[in-house]
């Protein structure tokens, strides 16, 4: 119990010794760090949005490529059928 009282008293004494200028500097540092965290959070959100847009564009391009391959195969089959009918 005596140790707890001593620790609390010491903590209060140290807190009382901190000057207003030191507290203002600490508050300024905390504010600066908070602003940096907010800026980084905004950048992460922007990057996530860009990544999602890129993923969507990639899927559209993939779907278009698959459709082009399918159309090319169908065209080749039609051409093969036309050529086969001339040979007969």
CA distances from 17 to 14, 20, 28, 60 (A): 5, 9, 19, 65
Looking at per-residue pLDDT, the higher value among 87 and 72 belongs to 72
| pLDDT in the model for residue 12 | 66
Tokens 């080749």 correspond to 76
Domain limits of the chain? Answer: 20-87
Is the pLDDT at 88 greater than 60? The verdict is no
State residue 5's pLDDT score: 80
What's the confidence (pLDDT) of residue 16?
60
- 40-86 residue pLDDT tens: 999 999 999 999 999 999 999 999 999 999 999 999 999 888 877 77
Tell me the C-alpha distance between 39 and 32, whole Å: 11
Instruction: Select the more confidently predicted residue: 2 or 49.
Output: 49
pLDDT band at 25 (very low <50, low <70, confident <90, very high): confident
């Amino acid at each position: 119990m005596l140790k707890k009282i001593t620790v609390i008293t010491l903590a209060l004494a140290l807190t009382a010794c901190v000057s207003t200028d030191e507290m203002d500097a600490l508050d300024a540092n905390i504010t600066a760090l908070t602003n940096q965290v907010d800026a980084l959070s905004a950048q992460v959100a922007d990057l996530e949005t860009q990544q999602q847009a890129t993923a969507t564009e990639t899927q559209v391009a993939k779907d278009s490529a698959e459709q082009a391959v399918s159309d090319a195969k169908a065209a080749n089959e039609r051409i093969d059928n036309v050529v086969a009918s001339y040979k007969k």
